Amino acid sequence: MGPIVSLSKIGAYENKPLGDYMKVFMLGWEFPPFISGGLGTACYGLTKAMDQLGIKVTFVLPRMVDSKYATHVKLLTPESQMSIESQMSIGSLNFPELKNVAFRTINSPLQPYSTPDVYQRRIEENLRQKHGGNVGATSRCSGTIDYGSNMYVEVHRYAAAVVELAGDEQFDIVHAHDWMTYPAGIAVAAMSEKPLIVHVHSTEFDRSGENVNQMIYDIEREGMERADKVIAVSYFTRNVIISRYGISGKKIKVVYNGVEHNGGNNWPLAETGINKDEKIVLFLGRITMQKGPEYFLQAAKKVLDVVDNVKFVMAGSGDLMHRAVEMAAGLGIGHKVLFTGFLRGEEVRKIYKMADLYVMPSVSEPFGIAPLEALGNDVPVIISKQSGVSEVLMHALKVDFWDVNEIANKIVAVLKYPPLEMTLRNHGSFEVRKLRWKDSAQKCAKIYEETLLRFEKCTL
């Protein structure tokens, strides 16, 4: 099967709407209201911007989206191939209709940020629901389960299901987000004889440090090697791809993330246990090794040694949640640290509106959308130098993630000196308005065009 796009169309790109020639088969992980982190936010922002540019997108999700959660989009499942229209609004999330986006969903226990341990917890939760909580009996009957092996099998089963689904689609290019979609992207590109773009939002080194999972690393590397182009969310990530995966820099394009600009109302302070005269320092993100929650808490202890009217809020969930609670108690600051659990939608906007300062002490952050969201809500930010977003924000205080003394000093400075806080807030808020998903989508579209032109010339 040859490419749909002809050289005559490519030559006339500038004179035609993108939708006349650009059809993308996109493999992603989340879409509102199913958001568990920055990857889902990025998939939504980029897809929405592509829709507004007129690019036709078929978006494949690895889960069955229940119709009760449908927003103002058309959901199509491979089982029914029937459209489900819904005018429901999820909480206060209310999206404009995506006219050029069709969704396909495939049943799968895979989810973003998965590792064999996360996959194991997901499977065991499913077993609890099916067997009334008696997982032990099920495990004894079935024997010891190798969840790492099972996850590998599931990734490739999912890829096979995506290939079958893709056989009924028309598209010009395949765009795969993050590692679990790479085998599916490779398979669909091979079946359709279309070019493959892989989008790297994070790597195994970001998630696991030096203790990488070899299976995940191998899948990531093969995806990058087999791709026609690799999109990295920052030069920080581009350098990791070159140095750790051996991918040529000529193959990698950097496309920064954008940010949605939304307002919101404050929560009544009476509902939070926070006094009116207390400052609020916010950590918002997955509570995992990658995000550096322990450095946030260590800095909090040092701040509270010199400033008393401060509350530290940790918004999010993750595998280090219980350890973080225990650490706060062990440091003697448990009464000054609030854990909200996972927040979404309007809850996120409310917590930003309450915050006086946002801190992101990430150990390795490929990009980091949360600081942009904070600035979009007029909250000054302190960010790790080990992050992609530090490349695009000039009016932010930057620290090494491990330097808890410097993090604490900068927190105290922002809280005690209003002119500094005002400068960071005002200039940062202005700066973040220039980071738009529309620009990210246009850069992706240009990469598509260049790739399609090169791909077609090679196939003539």
List pLDDT tens digits, range 445-456. 999 999 998 887
Q: Which residue has the higher pLDDT, 259 or 413?
A: 413
Do 280 and 152 reside in the same domain of the chain? no
Residue 105 sits in the same domain as residue 126: yes
pLDDT tens sequence across 143-193:
556 766 788 888 999 999 999 999 999 999 999 998 999 999 999 999 999
Q: Is 227 in the same domain as 122?
A: yes
403 assigned to some structural domain = yes
Q: For a pLDDT cut of 70, what percent of the chain falls above it? A: 77
pLDDT at 3: 43
State the chain's mean pLDDT as an integer. 83
pLDDT of 25:
97
Percent of the chain predicted with pLDDT > 90: 60
Q: Is residue 216 located within the same domain as residue 160?
A: yes
* Res. 285: pLDDT tops 70: yes
The pLDDT, as a whole number, for residue 5 is 44
Q: Is the Cβ–Cβ distance between 436 and 52 less than 8 Å?
A: no
Q: 142 and 284 share a domain?
A: no
* 185 located within any domain: yes
Same domain, 322 and 346: yes
> Collapsing DSSP states into helix, strand and coil, what is residue 381?
strand
The verdict on residue 323 lying in a domain is yes
pLDDT at 262 (0 to 100): 59
Whether 110 maps to a domain, the answer reads yes
Are residues 326 and 222 part of one domain? Answer: no
Q: Residue 44: which pLDDT band, with cuts at 50, 70 and 90?
A: confident
Give dist(CA 422, CA 107) in Å, integer. Answer: 48
Query: Edge-to-edge, what's the strand order for the sheet holding 310-315?
Result: 337-341, 310-315, 279-284, 357-360, 381-384, 397-399
Q: Are 284 and 244 in a shared domain?
A: no
* pLDDT of amino acid 325: 96
Q: Rank 67-76, 88-97, 148-157 by mean pLDDT and report only the highest.
A: 148-157
253 and 112 in one domain? yes
Alpha helices, H only, 167-271? 182-192, 204-208, 214-226, 235-245
Model confidence band, residue 19 (pLDDT cutoffs 50, 70, 90): low
Query: How many Cβ atoms sit within 10 Å of the Cβ of residue 329?
Result: 12
H or E element in which residue 23 lies: strand 23-27
Is residue 413 within 8 Å of 421, Cβ to Cβ? Answer: no
Whether residues 148 and 73 fall in one domain: yes
Q: What is the pLDDT of residues 225-278, one digit of tens each?
A: 999 999 999 999 999 999 999 999 999 999 999 987 654 444 444 455 565 679
First to last CA, the chain: 13
What's the average model confidence in pLDDT over 320-333?
96
Q: Write out pLDDT tens, residues 198-232.
A: 999 999 999 999 999 999 999 999 999 999 999 99
What confidence tens digit (pLDDT) does each residue in 345-357 have?
788 889 999 999 9
How many residues can be counted in the chain? Answer: 460
Q: What angle do CA 440, 444, 450 make, to 5 degrees?
A: 145
Q: Which domain CATH number covers 31?
A: 3.40.50.2000
Residue 265: its pLDDT value, please? 46
Domain count, the chain: 2
Does any domain span residue 2?
A: no
Is the confidence at residue 408, as pLDDT, over 70? Answer: yes
State whether 93 and 191 are in the same domain. yes
Could you tell me the pLDDT band of residue 68, with boundaries at 50, 70 and 90?
very low
Name the residue range of residue 339's domain. Answer: 269-432
Residue 62: name the closest of 19, 105, 22 by CA.
105
- pLDDT for 145 equals 64
Residue 23 belongs to some domain of the structure: yes
pLDDT attached to residue 138: 47
Provide mean pLDDT across the span 385-406: 97
Gap between the Cα atoms of 202 and 366, Å rounded: 6
Is 264 inside a domain boundary? no
Structural domain contains residue 334: yes
Look at the pTM and tell me if it is higher than 0.85: no
Task: Please give the Cα distance from 449 to 446 (Å, whole number).
Answer: 5
Please tell me the predicted confidence (pLDDT) of residue 120. 74
Statement to judge: residues 204 and 350 lie in one domain: no
pLDDT value, residue 85? 30
